[in-house]
Amino acid sequence: GAVVSQHPSWVICKSGTSVKIECRSLDFQATTMFWYRQFPKQSLMLMATSNEGSKATYEQGVEKDKFLINHASLTLSTLTVTSAHPEDSSFYICSAIGPVGGANQPQHFGDGTRLSIL
Amino acid sequence: EDQVTQSPEALRLQEGESSSLNCSYTVSGLRGLFWYRQDPGKGPEFLFTLYSAGEEKEKERLKATLTKKESFLHITAPKPEDSATYLCAVQAPSELSFGAGTTVTVRA
Q: Is B99 on the interface with A (CB under 8 A)?
A: yes
Q: How far apart are CA B8 and CA B23, in angstroms?
A: 9
pLDDT tens, residue order, chain A (118 aa): 789 999 999 999 999 999 999 999 998 888 899 999 998 888 899 999 998 888 899 999 999 999 999 988 889 999 999 999 999 999 999 999 987 767 678 899 999 999 999 9
Which residues between 27 and 66 in chain B have a beta carbon less than 8 angstroms from any beta carbon of chain A?
31-32, 34, 36, 41-46, 49, 51
Give chain B's radius of gyration (CA, Å). Answer: 13
Minimal Cβ distance to B98: which of A4, A43, A104: A43
Q: Is B7 on the interface with A (CB under 8 A)?
A: no
For B14-56, the pLDDT digits (tens) are: 999 999 999 999 988 888 999 999 999 999 999 999 999 999 9
Cβ pairs A/B, distance under 8 A: 49
Q: How far apart are CA A7 and CA A81, in angstroms?
A: 14
Chain A residue with Cα closest to B35: A106
Minimal Cβ distance to A106: which of B34, B41, B100: B34
Identify the burial level of B74 via C-beta atoms within 10 angstroms of its C-beta, where 0-12 means exposed, 13-18 middle and 19 or more buried: middle
**First vs last Cα of chain A: how many Å apart?**
37
Residues of B in contact with A44 (CB under 8 A): 44, 87, 98
